[in-house]
Structure 1
């Protein structure tokens, strides 16, 4: 559940003239779909990153020497800090991408990529590379090396999967998802489109900065994410970022502006009609995942200040914690109790129809520390609700003059904006009407789908340098 799932469902249903195959990177392959599949979704395929190791199909024809050369190039790119000279940075990116291709071909021709990446040879090469590039930093111990190579091996498992046969690959994210597009392009010359929901690389930094993994492990894993995200921009035939913020981040990391077109996430205004009136009591609503990246602790702390200024105010938090997220959900519940907000701030759980949650609000709030172009914002705006949001990703671009945008992690600023809106009914009405008008002008589902239709038509119509098999369009 979440924004990427909504986007995939909209895209497939919105382009019924295409047949689709979906490839999902999963944990171990036991996950079950939570969405009703569209009629034109012909196949759902999973690539488990943490399931049983991929089978070696036949004796490999690629030599171990070629694999070792590829691993050496990959380690050199991952471990070296960014070179200030643009030319050298580009060479590093190309070498890294070539290393991935050799590893894919090694696996495709029967080589045991899992075994090779976790072998004694790989361990020795990684420790030698660390000493050669980062001799002045903390030592890469054998235990750290085993941990890092195990993580890298699992992340690179899409290289061992059979490439998809399609007319076009559309990846929902950068990073590991793009490995699926890369293998299709290498095998069949398939054109690749990429969208980014959130900024993949930035969110990996945020994730690992709070990790308890040893420093050398974080260096290796973040280095892989950094180089993979940048290499992906060399592969794509078209980038379709969801806003100007994403586009600027992509260009900064090597994307080609001539192949980049902004396509905003859109909503169907009929599914999110303007609310008729508002609740009599002051109500703040959040709708989304119960997840650290949404920074609900800031929202709860802000509400403690709001309640002191606005008697009778309530905070309703709609949404569920993802798998493995129970600890963060419990921390939110504890913070509510510690601040004396029990009964006034409530974790409501999942809501059947999001529009019902927005209609129960006077103000809708989003306090994330990272976003792309969030559906929750444009959905709430379509319902005619004024917004209080943190200035991350494309949020300010979406909100415009239809609400307040404040710094992330600043609960005082969030509270001040909420109090201003809750105490001024005419202001809420004016901003709510502006929000609905802004969605109708810029962020409708029809506008989004038509933009993708044009991109697909252009890419498939041009053909590619290598023959492609007939097959379905495919979303990752």
Structure 2
């Protein structure tokens, strides 16, 4: 099977946020071939380069999402093309501004964006569907325009586009906050739309050169988008033009991330309203066209359902984790230090270490020998995120020094503090698995969380946990740990004291947690789930266009199974008098005689001689800006 893996700001870049699970997925499914289509988010990310890729990654193509995009212009649009763009963009703007929202297909949901309730009540279902269809028609029309006339960047940023946005914002039925948009707001939103729709202008979909051998997303068997939003746009185009089925995986809902990013960017209220409506419409279309949607947890699943995802398409697939180093700690059956609390995670305000420190002050009153180890990493690689993490860490250290001044006598030596701050990866820091192993109790104090990786790691180590009730925490814990409300230091302290004082309960919860984690959160279960989903989707996909006769009737066995079997085989071109059309992948079309296909059964392996389909495909992949891997 040939998979087109679609990423945004992730794999194959070393600094990509989805690198670990994508790499484990690709390596675990080595019986398939992968073409990676990646959208980069910054120059720094591209400068870090790619990680080591397995040999069955055939091709990698990348495109930047952080430039202005004018560099790719082939030429100006003619009068007819400009008129066509005007019709499509007006339709897109109207669909976004007039009642656009995250729940456009849900009907009964209600989503608030910057003070506007975009949809509310069952009575708007028909209108929501009409707006969703209008948005989809405009989206695919713009994709066709980009294919026929060249990149959309210049026209999406043009003065006429801004004027069309302004007319849509002033029209009856527009979002209340959008009506207050001024020229700077419209310019900011138009720039965002251009960046978001940049994948429509890429040359990733088909290669018509004689030696292409089916290069492009139009020739893959399945598109797998690792998130919604811009990453899924190439999959939508491939499905629209070539019938390629689309699988969407979201471990963190892209729509929710766009809402948070709009708030953090200090944008004006009208721009936030427009961005929320646009991303809501895009999410609705992605979920509507996907064959299967795989959220990583129930929290993400609820978001997707509110955005209009069909429940029949949803399959929860938990992230897979390398369990070996952590499971080894659990096998030792060592209880860890009974008076030690361990916190592990990225240093960021959302982790609420302030509440944790105040809770630990209460814990020390009940358990004077208790210690707290805070083992952190940076929140992000960008300068703003690093500066925020550094400032927050400094604030936490100052608070710890205030709450727990150095003790001159008593339990601790002079200058020793019961709270320690350690940086994961530093020379003096311990191994992560050993850090979990040293804990009597592992603590999570976050106020916002997606899938709590640190909890799953602690569970694999057989450690009892105390967590705040956020994100997918309850789903992951499943009754094997204590859960308290967020931003409640007293409740957090009481739960920790209860476990510190009861060794039998800690051991019992730790054993149950380890069994649950080994069943649900390992790489093996993740790979097995996607292997089955891939086969299910492909088995239900439509007949490929190259396997249809001139009368539009299916041609059974027109694409032989050998076309997708890795190994040494030869497809001989039939003589012109009796041969049929040649199909992508090296197979022969209808009319090819049986003797034209030959399977080499010799035991000698020829992995590097260029013979067979891998050699043909690798040779055909050169050019076009892609990298051959």
Establish whether TM, by shorter chain, passes 0.5: yes
CA shift, 1:189, in A, is: 1.6
1:95 aligns with one of 124, 128, 134 = 134
2:58 aligns with one of 28, 35, 42 = 42
CA RMSD of aligned residues (A): 2.8
Partner-residue secondary structure (3-state), 2:250: coil
**Matched residues in 2 for 1:400 and 1:185: separation?**
38
**Matched residues in 2 for 1:463 and 1:137: separation?**
41
CA shift, 1:365, in A, is: 2.8
Contact 2:339–2:500 (8 Å) recurs in 1: yes
2:568 is aligned to: none
1:71 is aligned to: 89
Cα distance change of structure 1 residues 456 and 134 upon mapping to structure 2, 3 Å threshold? closer
2:289 is aligned to: 235
CA shift, 1:136, in A, is: 7.0
Partner-residue secondary structure (3-state), 1:82: coil
Contact 2:337–2:439 (8 Å) recurs in 1: no
CA-to-partner distance for each residue in 1:38-79, whole Å, 9 max, x for gaps?
Answer: 333333332211135151236657722222222222222322
How do 1:138-149 and structure 2 match up within 5 A? 139-149=180-190
**Matched residues in 2 for 1:441 and 1:356: separation?**
22
Q: Which shows bigger deviation, 279-288 or 9-18? A: 279-288
Cα distance change of structure 1 residues 385 and 280 upon mapping to structure 2, 3 Å threshold? closer
Q: Which shows bigger deviation, 409-418 or 399-408? A: 409-418
How do 1:374-453 and structure 2 match up within 5 A? 374-453=452-531
The normalised TM-score by structure 2 is 0.69
1:56 is aligned to: 73
CA-to-partner distance for each residue in 1:226-258, whole Å, 9 max, x for gaps?
Answer: 111111111101111223333233223211222
1:82 is aligned to: 119
CA shift, 1:134, in A, is: 4.1
CA shift, 1:301, in A, is: 4.5
Cα distance change of structure 1 residues 217 and 298 upon mapping to structure 2, 3 Å threshold? farther
CA shift, 1:96, in A, is: 1.4
Contact 2:73–2:154 (8 Å) recurs in 1: no
1:265 aligns with 2:303: no
Cα distance change of structure 1 residues 359 and 3 upon mapping to structure 2, 3 Å threshold? farther
* Structure 2 gaps, min length 5: 1-14, 100-117, 205-215, 405-416, 547-583, 586-616, 619-629
2:38 aligns with one of 2, 12, 24 = 24
1:346 is aligned to: 421
Contact 1:198–1:393 (8 Å) recurs in 2: no
2:396 is aligned to: 336
CA shift, 1:465, in A, is: 5.5
2:19 is aligned to: 5
Partner-residue secondary structure (3-state), 2:295: coil
Partner-residue secondary structure (3-state), 1:20: strand
CA shift, 1:438, in A, is: 1.0
1:122 is aligned to: 161
CA shift, 1:158, in A, is: 1.6
* Structure 1 gaps, min length 5: none
**Matched residues in 2 for 1:171 and 1:19: separation?**
16
Partner-residue secondary structure (3-state), 1:195: strand
1:355 aligns with 2:433: yes
Larger Rg over CA atoms? 2
Q: Number of matched residues?
A: 472
The normalised TM-score by structure 1 is 0.89
1:316 aligns with one of 369, 374, 381 = 374
1:366 is aligned to: 444
**Matched residues in 1 for 2:134 and 2:361: separation?**
53
**Matched residues in 1 for 2:281 and 2:357: separation?**
37
Contact 2:226–2:249 (8 Å) recurs in 1: yes
Q: Which shows bigger deviation, 395-404 or 355-364? A: 355-364
Contact 1:27–1:51 (8 Å) recurs in 2: no
Report 1 or 2 for greater relative contact order, CA contacts < 8 Å, sequence distance ≥ 6.
1
